[in-house]
Amino acid sequence: MSAALQAARLDRMRMERDDIARLDARIAHAQRTRADAQAALTAAQQALEEIDAELGGLSVQRSLAAERLHNVARVRLRDVVATIPHDVLQCIFDARVFSEQPDTTTTIRSLMRIPFEVSRICKRWREAALAMPNLWSHLYVCELRPHTLQLAGLVLERSKGAPLNIHLTHNQGDQHFGELLKILSGHI
C-alpha cells in the first residue's frame, strides 16, 4: 500500500477520533444537562406536591371559616329578629299577607301558607302569628281529606272570627263535604 494512502487513512482515523471526542463531549454535556433537568423536575414535582398539600389545607380552612361566618351571621340575624317588637312583627306579617290580592288559586294557596311559614321561624314569631286572626283568614280547600279537614279547622280556629276568604273546590258526592260544611258553619 502506498505511503499516501496510508497517510490519508491515518488522517481519516484522526478525524474520526476527533469527531468521536467531540461527540463524547457533547454527550457528556447533554447527560449533565439532563441530570440537572431531572433534578429540577424532581424538585418542581416536590414543590408542586407541597403546594397541592397547602392548597388542600387552605381550602379546608376556608370552608371552616365560611361555616363559622355563616353561623355567626345566622346568630346575628336571629338576634336582630329577636329584637323586633311584637307590634312591628304583626305589621310585617300584615304587609306580607295584604300585599297580594287573592285573585288566583295559586295566590290564595300561598296566602294560606304564610301564617304556617312565619309561625315556624321562632317562638316569638309563632306567638305573634297566633295573636293575629287576620293572618289566618285565608282558607283554601281543594281536596277533601281528613288532614285537609283538620287543617281547615285549625285555620278557622286561629282566625278567631276575622273575616274569611274561602276558596273551596270539591267533587260532587265527596264524602267529606258534609264534615267540611259542619266545620265552616261555626265560622260563617
Q: What is the 8-class DSSP label of residue 72?
A: H
Residues of the chain with pLDDT > 70: what percent? 88
What is the per-residue pLDDT across 100-114, written as a single tens digit (0 to 9) for each?
555 555 566 677 788
- Coil, helix or strand for 130? helix
Cα–Cα distances in angstroms (integers) from residue 11 to residues 15, 16, 20, in the given order: 6, 9, 14
Residues paired with 139 in a beta bridge: 166
pLDDT at residue 104 in the model: 58
pLDDT at residue 98 in the model: 66
What is the per-residue pLDDT across 61-76, written as a single tens digit (0 to 9) for each?
999 999 999 999 999 9
What is the per-residue pLDDT across 18-61, written as a single tens digit (0 to 9) for each?
999 999 999 999 999 999 999 999 999 999 999 999 999 999 99
Secondary element (H or E) of residue 139: strand 138-141
With a threshold of 0.95, does the pTM exceed it?
A: no
